[in-house]
A and B are shown apart, each in its own frame.
Chain A
Amino acid sequence: MPYKRMHLPELQHAIATDDDQQAYAELFARFNPLLVLFTQSIVHQREVAEEIVSDVFIRIWQRRKTLDQVQHLKMYLYVSARNYAINKLRSKNHQLSIKVEELSVDLPSFSDDPYEITVLAETQKEIHRAVNELPGRCKIIFKLVKEDGLRQKEVAELLQLSPKTIENQLAIALKKLAETIRNVANGKKYT
């Protein structure tokens, strides 16, 4: 079976019981880009974020024998990355928790596949632009739910915010996008 198509629990199990390096490589390939973006939103430096995520993965491999005990690997990766990032910041400037308002993230742009570019309607580009113009906190919450596929309560836990805040921020984001679309439909540029 191509590793690319294996489900996360299968990869996890292969790493834990078979020392499967290819499964580990696939886990890295699948989550590294997302985790680096997330971590970068906390530490604000690409290189630092890459190092932190690499450390998270090194620990995964070091402790692979116990990996099967992890209930929810995806969340485990994000929480680890968050904790490593906070530790890094703490050791630098005694910061004790994430300042969510300072989080910043850019959503990955659309695929450069020519087929997708041609079929991609103008509206979709407008939506994408509007997403990137959302306020920092609103945007990272939107991104973690949409791009990273985390559940709303997981995002609350990860960002140490109340579930109510997550609900509100997502609703604000979607309303804003809906208004953008309506304005595009009415021939007005959203500003």
Chain B
Amino acid sequence: MPERIWYLLSIKLSGEATQAELDEFHLLLSEQPEWEVAVQQITRYWLQPKDIPSFSSSPEWVHHIERLRSAGVEWAEPNSGQAAIVTLAEPGNRRYQMKRWLVAAAVLIITLGTGWLVLLQPASNAHELMVRATKNPNEVTTQPASRSQLTLPDGSKVWLNASSKLSYSNGFGEENRNVWLEGEGFFEVFKNKELPFIIHTSRMNIKVTGTVFNVRAYPQEATSETALIEGSVEVALSGEKEWKYHLKPKQKLVVDDHGISTGKINMGAVTKFAPINAVPSYTASLQSLSRPLADSQVVETAWVYNLLSFSDESFRQVANKMEKWYGVTIILLETDMENWYFTGSFKNESLTEALTALQLSTAFSFVVKEHTIYISKPVNK
């Protein structure tokens, strides 16, 4: 009969212990300090992240669907080979539930040759959900205030934020896995050690074998960043040949092309600051991800959950995010307003509601003229 302490540890680890049992465990442990190290190590072992592959294009999945179909069970197969796109966002009606989109929203198929996406979906919101491909059949763009999810031919998934463009080369998935990104994307890269997945952006290139991360690289914005959720990635700044930065989970690399540190974004969270000699016009810094949201979420990827979110960010940065989110132009009439900082997150709010909420923390006035919002310091008080 083993001692009670080990039974107590087992229910503590499986999350089934009552407070009284936890207290009893800690009392027993304090009487037997020789086991303290062992308890720590076992706890660490128990909490070790589990490495369970979770990609739907695994051989097991393919085999399963074959069996399902041969059993005569109905199953609508999306296309294969080409990227399948599911449009996620629907501007204008933010009360629409995310999971409903995924069903109601159409599966879009890029047709070769014509280069236009065929859109199959309810006519009511068709005008808002239009995702356009250009002449290159392997290119997907999103409109302002709209977001898309796509699955690439290799099984990797990409969530594309508003006003973004993703393209990939013809041999994608077979000879290489190169993609080009302008804008913001959240990537779940299918594991393939032989064929690294490389994302090219104007300021940096990112190399991965299989992982989950977010890249924000809008050419018109002063900073670009790569935020890593799990796995590992390597980042090289444009013009550099060596993969220089190795990110760990929950870190992000911010590149600023004005040579200014972006430490203010995450005050106190800057873990390393590394000016790049080879490219004097860039500054890069490694930072921790911001997480004022629920534990499993971070600000950098909130948009994937249909949350507009910012954490101690300047008015200019907030305005950039809101411009893409709502598909408007925001003009700050006085430049020193750019140094006002905001933290917050919005889900269902309209643009006016969001601006009104921001006014609660800092007084300002705004005027809406069609698709442009003019913001100034308070008129009277």
Contacts and interface: CB of A to CB of B under 8 A. Distances in A.
A171 B45 contact: no
B126 interface: no
Interface string A78-117: 0000000000000000000000000000001011011100
Contacts of B278: none
B54 A54 contact: no
B56 A152 contact: no
Interface string B60-98: 110110011001010110100000001000000000001
Scoring B7, B55, B296 by chain A CB atoms within 10 A of each residue's CB, the highest score goes to B7
A21 B76 contact: yes
B3 interface: yes
A54 B14 contact: no
B103 A19 contact: yes
B56 A171 contact: no
Interface string A26-66: 10111011101000000000000011001101100110000
A72 to B, nearest CB: 15
Contact of A174 (B9, B48, B68): B9
A178 B46 contact: no
B37 A152 contact: no
Given A54-B64, A167-B10, A171-B10, A4 B54 contact: yes
Contact of A181 (B3, B37, B61, B212): B37
A50 B159 CA distance: 31
A152 B8 CA distance: 12
A18 B6 contact: no
Interface string A159-180: 0000000011011111101110
* Interface size classification for chain A: 35 or more
B6 A178 contact: yes
Given A113-B232, A127-B45, A171 B2 contact: yes
Nearest to B67: A54
Contacts, number: 159
B188 interface: yes
Contacts of B103: 14, 18-20
Nearest to B231: A113
B14 A145 contact: yes
A151 B16 contact: yes
B76 A127 contact: no
Interface in B324-355: none
Interface residues of B, number: 61
B376 to A, nearest CB: 37
A37 B73 CA distance: 26
Nearest to A120: B48
A152 B11 contact: yes
B42 A58 contact: no
A58 B71 contact: yes
Contact of B53 (A6, A33, A58): A33
B13 A32 contact: no
Nearest to A127: B45
A110 B34 CA distance: 28
Given A18-B99, A33-B53, A115-B248, A110 B305 contact: no
Interface string A113-152: 1110000000110011000000000000000011100011
In the complex, the 5 A-B pairs of residues with the closest C-beta atoms, listed nearest first: A25-B56, A111-B51, A178-B38, A170-B10, A171-B6
11 contacts: A1-B304, A2-B304, A25-B61, A26-B54, A29-B58, A33-B52, A108-B51, A124-B45, A167-B7, A174-B6, A177-B38
Interface of A: 1-2, 4-6, 10, 13-14, 18-23, 25-26, 28-30, 32-34, 36, 50-51, 54-55, 57-58, 61-62, 108, 110-111, 113-115, 123-124, 127-128, 145-147, 151-152, 167-168, 170-175, 177-179, 181-182, 185
